[in-house]
Amino acid sequence: MASVKPVKQLRRMSPEKLVRHDLGEDEKRTPIPLLIREAAGNSSRGISLEILKRAARKCQACDLWKNATQTVFGNGSARARVMLVGEQPGDREDIEGEPFVGPAGKLLREAMLQAGIDLGDVYLSNVVKHFRWEASARGKRRIHKKPRQSEIDACHPWLEAELEALSPQVLVCLGATAAKAMLGNKFSVSRDRGKVVPSPLPCVVLATIHPSSILRSPDTESRHAEMEAFVRDLRTVAQLIAGN
Ligand code: URA
């Protein structure tokens, strides 16, 4: 996993140390730790999710910002006990500026309700915070493109900072991109979905499928079966936060 200095240490570092001087003009982007510090201003309180969200608006850590409408940062209660992480915002999320507001998000909410997870106890985010897309053949639609590893790595400090600011009890990785980003490239969702995974993170971690894969089911029967299995994985999350 890419690493960033704990946000608590960032304020004490001089800007000189935070800026990379070995890069060409084009690559001299404001580093994420510096964006966070600027957004924090001289607030004496800790780095909150609100500060991080404000800081991330200016993120240019990779090139995805160039074709996206805006940064789509995580969203949810600052006291949420469950953090769910997806891949990247889609078309709807890019327009609205909130994660999981499109069809996959609708299905995710429905599954959480069925599993008994209180939506007010949830914080939703993504491994990558800008929409990666290409124009359809006729140029009328924006087609989702999987983020590159370099983009996932560039965005990782935001995820670490969100985890530190939120300190959730349970982290749920939705789909292979999120699972590999948090648990390493060898992690297989199909093999280990719904199980608590050993991890150095200071919370319980598990992975399940991405809700968009249910939307791609070839027929009603498999869609139902996929949904049931998804709800089953999320019930494990509900039990974990209930202390069972
Ligand atoms: N898919 C994701 O992974 N994240 C979103 O926010 C929306 C769709």
Are 182 and 212 in contact by the 8 Å Cβ rule? The answer is: no
Burial call 149-160: b when 16+ CB within 10 Å, e when fewer: eebbbbbbbbbb
CA of 111 to the centre of ligand 1 (A): 15
Distance from the CA of 187 to the center of ligand 1, in angstroms? 20
CA of 89 to the centre of ligand 1 (A): 4
Per-residue pLDDT, 22: 53
Q: Which atom of ligand 1 is nearest to the CA of 86?
A: 3
Residue 42, pLDDT score: 82
Query: What residues contact 61, with CB distance under 8 A and at least 6 apart?
Result: 29, 31, 32, 154, 155, 157
pLDDT at 20: 44
Please tell me the distance between residue 86's alpha carbon and the centre of ligand 1 in angstroms.
Answer: 5
Greatest distance between any 2 Cα atoms in the chain: 58
* pLDDT at site 34: 94
Give 162's Cβ-side CA count (13 Å radius): 29
Q: pLDDT tens for the chain, 244 residues: list them.
A: 434 444 445 445 444 444 444 545 555 689 999 999 999 998 778 899 999 999 999 999 999 999 999 999 999 999 999 999 999 999 999 999 999 999 999 999 999 999 999 999 999 999 999 999 999 999 889 999 999 999 999 999 999 999 999 999 999 999 999 999 999 999 999 999 999 999 999 999 999 999 999 999 999 999 999 999 999 999 999 999 999 6
Beta bridge pairs of residue 123: 76, 83
Residue among 231, 228, 175, 229 nearest 206 (CA): 175
The superfamily CATH assigns to domain 7-241 is Uracil-DNA glycosylase-like domain (3.40.470.10)
* Ligand 1 atom with least separation from CA of 175: 3
- What CA–CA distance (Å, rounded) separates 70 from 93? 9
Ligand 1 within 6 A of CB of 211: no
What separation in Å is there between the alpha carbon of 114 and the centre of ligand 1?
20
The answer to whether the CB of 31 is under 6 A from ligand 1 is no
**If you count them, how many residues does the chain have?**
244
The pLDDT assigned to 10 comes to 44
User: What are the sequence ranges of the domains in the chain?
Assistant: 7-241
pTM summary value = 0.89
pLDDT score at 2: 38
